[in-house]
Amino acid sequence: MRSPHRSRDRHDLPPQVQPAAGRGGVAARAPQGRHRRGGDHARAEVPLGDRADRAVLRGARDPQARRRRRRSGRDHAADHQGPGRLMAGFDHRTVDARWQAFWTRENTFATPTDRTRPKYYVLDMFPYPSGDGLHVGHPKGYTATDVVARAKRMMGFNVLRVMGWDSFGLPAERRAEQTGEHPSVITKRNIATFKAQLQKLGLSYDWSRELATSDPTYYKWTQWIFSVLFERGLAYRKEVAVNFCPALGTVLANEEVHDGKYIETGDPVEQRNMTQWMLKITAYADPLVEDLALVDWPAGTLKKQQDWIGKSIGADVVFKVADSDRSITVFTTRPDTLFGGTWVVLAPEHPLVDAITTPAQQAAVAAYREEVSKRSIRDRTMEAADAPKTGVATGAFATNPVNGARIPIWIADYVLASYGTGAVFACPAGDERDHAFATKFGLPIVEVVQGPAGHDVQAAAFTGDGPHVNSGFLDGLGNDAAKTAVIAWLAERELGKQVVRYKMRDWLFSRQRYWGEPFPTIEKQDGTVELVPFAQLPVTLPAIDEYKPTRDGQPPLARAVEWRQTTDHDGQPALRETNTMPQWAGSCWYYLRFISPTNDQVAWDADEEKYWMPVDLYVGGNEHATLHLLYARFWHKVLFDAGLVSTKEPFQRLFHQGMIHKTSFQDPTTGKYFYPEEVEPRGDDDKSWFVKGTDTAVVTKFDKMSKSKKNVVNPDDMCNEYGADAMRMYELFMGPLEDGVEWATDGVRGTRGFLDRSWRLLVDPETDTLTAKVSEDAPTDNKDLERALHATIKRVTESVTDLRFNTAVAQLMTFVNEATKAKQIPRAWFEAFVKIMSPFAPHLAEEIWQRLGHTTTIAYAPWPAFDEAKLAKDTITIAIQVTGKMRGTVDVAADASEATILAAAKAEPKVAELIAGKAIKREIYVKGKLVNLVV
């Protein structure tokens, strides 16, 4: 991707911003006390529009066109003629450009190197740099983390705030197949686009730590971690049935396949046997479940991880096959119900089926197995849990170990060969599937756990807890006690034992693709595998002339014939691996590389790792709830066991931002999508949409933004028209961070209006000079304004922790409304406001800060404290209810006694009328809030 950046860590804090001498630097001015003439403010590279500029801009404006755009609500095809709306506000183009240039020039956001302060590591899930560029959905999480990062800096934390690129992956490779361009070139271009878009938003990343997973200086270390896994016996090659996607020419992990299709593209997936690299994630199943207790994650995500791992504790139980010396081991989580076991079911693929099937049943069994095998895995997994049961008897019988009962052995496809032992015993009274099977095939149902009164096990299974019946030595015991008792009984007789099983399988870790990390392994002549020595890492991707798999189905790297030829540690000929790692590999550890991104001796510095880890706040979409987050935790735990990292878990706190949607318009018959400006609403309620000028009806749907659905809103357009700060603020104001919302450009206008009002508190836009409103000697007896200020500091401060930015922005607005009403604003109050709004609207805040006479960046100005005492009111409004109904209010002194308040309440005219002549049965007083007079 790029050559490594030289580390430019800052060595002193707080950073003093140096005026850029000789360049008319923005800060090249002595601090001043009060109002200065606006005309003398220093110019940055991009001059602030002067009167003449504005006159031109205003003259160039076409009010009609503007109105049409506004009313249409789809003006994101932004007007590139000029700002166009700045008469009463600030010039965001100039301000944004000036401060972005300033931050870059001054290295404002370089990561501090002092290690005595507390640290805060806030991380975004890094994006795959697609060719489409960013849409307004991407920055929602980035803006939230930016507010946290900026506020934490001001609160005295050393903040690690970084961005990188998950840049290996399929789309670039597919594009390369089409164009012949090297994926690295495509990727580099896409990264440049993404980066430019992010920089327009003023996100406070330390860009000197930027990384890309496809960069050899990065994947060298991905290969090294693979070596660690290999050396610890956690990476192995195996011939396995894999999910092969013919359209992509590669295998996929189980996690990437859903309903028999590749999740990303929807291409069908089929089963094939191939030799593949596997990672033994199952060896970490237990810690992966247990350590979820250590992290502060959304409950839903914790549950998804648990479900994915699918730990279940049960027993393996041996059933002897009658009239035979064979036996069947079944897995069950309900050994307590063994007395109700009235038949045994094998998966159709179970190896014992052939051996035990009686001659009379052979034809039926063969036919059933044939039928099942014809149905693909896809069909089988698509079936619902309540799908009709099918199956066929083998004719053989088994002996129930607990009661010696002779019970039939069936095969049925609801038993999966790949889980447990591929065999189960059926207890129809205690399992819904078994019950359905019993009902269909007329098999006996024996009650073993007593359900609630009136429950008929012949009609429905009872899966709950209760006293056991018909169960010999288990009678009367509850489920747990019965389980313990029966397992002990079985173990004594060597007929069973307690076991733990997981749904999770080992991780299929190789792909037949070009654009991924090569494995640091070679295959020797005897077929064994050895690691490429560390000194020879990275194993870089060779240039090849075509990125498709070979005609005989080998991965693209098989084309690099010379590159493949190498030697082992004895100098004997050996071949390089032609598979590459899946895209997850790079994202499994990038949070560690950010700690020492340019170190070419180690993947990360141990002391630095101890300082920065764990990630304090990790923000990204919940689509990664199982895959990325599970894989990364797995690698981290291996690294922990290897003594390479200091924490058991990588991500202390996790937060999922909601997705931003936008209505899409699709012709249901052709599937074609239309841009918003191509369609129009018709009908009385404007609810039917048609393609303009035609009778083609289109259906509307809230959709993820995507180019193909023609519903993308581009953040660049928003920045151009409304400014980065208005855009940032709207992203946070639109609703709770975790919620999905529909994008509404009108809302950006709203936050822009707020920024303009904030600006005008200090600057007269007509003259571009400071107003007299904010002043050193303004009276400080404006209690309403003071209270609003402290309430705002409080709410914004809390929002940094609870991530409820929508209400924080609302509170900032409330303060500005209050301040607009005020005749004068004490300078100290206004400065406190500017500080707390600066994480949200950093460009404008810097500009105001400078106009206030400051010569250093606001990014490290100390965060203001709020005073609870200042939040209290002198007089409070007490609500008065009569028998629970609101009847009025009364204003009383904040320290008024209960008796005084009750008296005042009763004296309120309307209340007095209602209680006149009635006996008050009860008087309820809620301190400082209300009284309720019950009559």
Determine if 744 is a binding residue for RNA (CB under 7 A). yes
Q: Is the previous residue joined to 538 through a cis bond, with omega within 30 degrees of 0?
A: yes
CB-wise, 775 or 814, nearer to RNA? Answer: 814
Give the interface segment with RNA, choosing from 265-273, 417-425, 441-449, 858-866 (CB under 7 A): 417-425
Give the interface segment with RNA, choosing from 8-16, 95-103, 179-187, 384-392 (CB under 7 A): 384-392
d(CA 86, CA 92): 9
CB of 889 to RNA, least distance (A): 5
In 3-state terms the chain splits into helix, strand, coil percentages (rounded to 5) of 40, 20, 45
Bridge partners (DSSP) listed for residue 746: none
CB atoms near residue 472 (< 10 Å): 12
Tokens 């507010």, residue located: 147
CB-wise, 508 or 595, nearer to RNA? Answer: 508
Determine if 55 is a binding residue for RNA (CB under 7 A). no
Q: Are strands 119-124 and 158-162 parallel, antiparallel or unpaired?
A: parallel
CB-wise, 664 or 932, nearer to RNA? Answer: 932
Torsion of CA 603, 606, 608, 612, to 10 degrees: 90
Q: Which of the residues 795 through 854 are near RNA (CB under 7 A)?
A: 804, 806-807, 809-810, 813-814, 817, 820-821
CB-wise, 237 or 433, nearer to RNA? Answer: 433
Q: Are 825 and 774 in contact (CB under 8 A)?
A: yes
Residues 322-361 as x/- pattern, contact with RNA by CB under 7 A: ---------xxxx------------x--------------
Q: Are 109 and 160 in contact (CB under 8 A)?
A: no
Determine if 883 is a binding residue for RNA (CB under 7 A). yes
Rg (CA), the chain: 35
What are the structure tokens assigned to 562, written together? 């010379």
CB-wise, 184 or 824, nearer to RNA? Answer: 824
- Order of strands, edge to edge, in the sheet holding 922-926? 885-893, 875-882, 930-934, 922-926
CB of 198 to RNA, least distance (A): 24
CB of 865 to RNA, least distance (A): 19
Residue 307's identity, in one-letter code, is D
Total number of residues that touch RNA (CB under 7 A):
87
Q: Which of the residues 622 through 661 are near RNA (CB under 7 A)?
A: 626
CB-wise, 800 or 813, nearer to RNA? Answer: 813
- Of 865, 870, 894, the C-alpha closest to 786 is 870
Q: Are 73 and 25 in contact (CB under 8 A)?
A: no
CB of 750 to RNA, least distance (A): 3
What are the structure tokens assigned to 719, written together? 């920045």
Determine if 749 is a binding residue for RNA (CB under 7 A). yes
Q: Report the residue from 292, 416, 481, 697 that binds RNA according to the rule CB under 7 A.
A: 416
What are the structure tokens assigned to 528, written together? 């064994």
Q: How far is CA 384 from the centre of its chain?
A: 28
CB of 817 to RNA, least distance (A): 5
The b/e string for 831-867 (b: 16+ C-beta within 10 A; e otherwise) is bbbbbbbbbbbbbbbbbbbbbbbbbbbbbbbebbebe
Q: Report the residue from 156, 542, 621, 747 that binds RNA according to the rule CB under 7 A.
A: 747
CB of 887 to RNA, least distance (A): 8
Q: Which of the residues 421 through 450 are near RNA (CB under 7 A)?
A: 422, 424, 431, 433
d(CA 251, CA 243): 5
CB of 804 to RNA, least distance (A): 7
Give the interface segment with RNA, choosing from 26-34, 151-159, 579-587, 927-935 (CB under 7 A): 927-935
CB-wise, 805 or 860, nearer to RNA? Answer: 805
Determine if 877 is a binding residue for RNA (CB under 7 A). yes
Q: Report the residue from 355, 912, 920, 926 that binds RNA according to the rule CB under 7 A.
A: 926
Residues 232-271 as x/- pattern, contact with RNA by CB under 7 A: --------------------------x-------------
CB of 317 to RNA, least distance (A): 10
> Is residue 258 within a helix (H) or strand (E), and if so which, with residue range?
strand 257-258
Determine if 503 is a binding residue for RNA (CB under 7 A). yes
Q: How many residues does the chain have?
A: 935
d(CA 677, CA 680): 8
d(CA 593, CA 659): 28
Q: Which of the residues 538 through 597 are near RNA (CB under 7 A)?
A: none
Determine if 67 is a binding residue for RNA (CB under 7 A). yes
Determine if 419 is a binding residue for RNA (CB under 7 A). yes
CB-wise, 176 or 844, nearer to RNA? Answer: 844
d(CA 345, CA 337): 16
CB-wise, 333 or 439, nearer to RNA? Answer: 333
CB of 282 to RNA, least distance (A): 12
Q: Report the residue from 33, 527, 884, 917 that binds RNA according to the rule CB under 7 A.
A: 884
CA atoms in the 13 A half-sphere facing the CB of 622:
18
CB-wise, 225 or 726, nearer to RNA? Answer: 726
Determine if 130 is a binding residue for RNA (CB under 7 A). no
Give the interface segment with RNA, choosing from 152-160, 275-283, 591-599, 885-893 (CB under 7 A): 885-893
CB-wise, 419 or 611, nearer to RNA? Answer: 419
CB-wise, 682 or 821, nearer to RNA? Answer: 821
Torsion of CA 688, 690, 696, 700, to 10 degrees: -60
Q: Which of the residues 298 through 317 are near RNA (CB under 7 A)?
A: 300, 303-304, 307, 310, 312, 314
Q: How far lies 570's CA from each of 525, 530, 537, 573, in Å?
A: 12, 11, 18, 9
Give the interface segment with RNA, choosing from 115-123, 265-273, 359-367, 420-428 (CB under 7 A): 420-428
Q: Which of the residues 760 through 799 are near RNA (CB under 7 A)?
A: 760
Indicate the DSSP class of residue 112. Answer: B
CB of 744 to RNA, least distance (A): 6
Q: How far lies 659's CA from each of 139, 617, 841, in Å?
A: 10, 19, 22
CB-wise, 613 or 741, nearer to RNA? Answer: 741
CB of 636 to RNA, least distance (A): 22
Q: How far is CA 13 from the centre of its chain?
A: 33
CB of 592 to RNA, least distance (A): 27
What are the structure tokens assigned to 118, written together? 């507390």
Q: Report the residue from 178, 684, 885, 916 that binds RNA according to the rule CB under 7 A.
A: 885
CB of 306 to RNA, least distance (A): 11
CB of 286 to RNA, least distance (A): 15
CB-wise, 182 or 757, nearer to RNA? Answer: 757
CB-wise, 6 or 71, nearer to RNA? Answer: 71
Q: Which of the residues 85 through 114 are near RNA (CB under 7 A)?
A: 85, 87-89
CB-wise, 659 or 828, nearer to RNA? Answer: 659
Torsion of CA 695, 697, 703, 704, to 10 degrees: -40
CB of 751 to RNA, least distance (A): 6
CB of 186 to RNA, least distance (A): 28
Q: Report the residue from 30, 360, 385, 453 that binds RNA according to the rule CB under 7 A.
A: 385
Q: Where does 459-549 have alpha helices with state H?
A: 479-492
- Determine if residue 867 is left, alpha or beta; phi over 0 gives left, psi from -120 to 50 gives alpha, anything else beta: beta
Q: Are strands 688-691 and 697-704 parallel, antiparallel or unpaired?
A: antiparallel
d(CA 715, CA 853): 32
Q: How far lies 606's CA from each of 226, 436, 647, in Å?
A: 19, 58, 12
What are the structure tokens assigned to 533, written together? 């020595």
Q: Are 490 and 335 in contact (CB under 8 A)?
A: yes
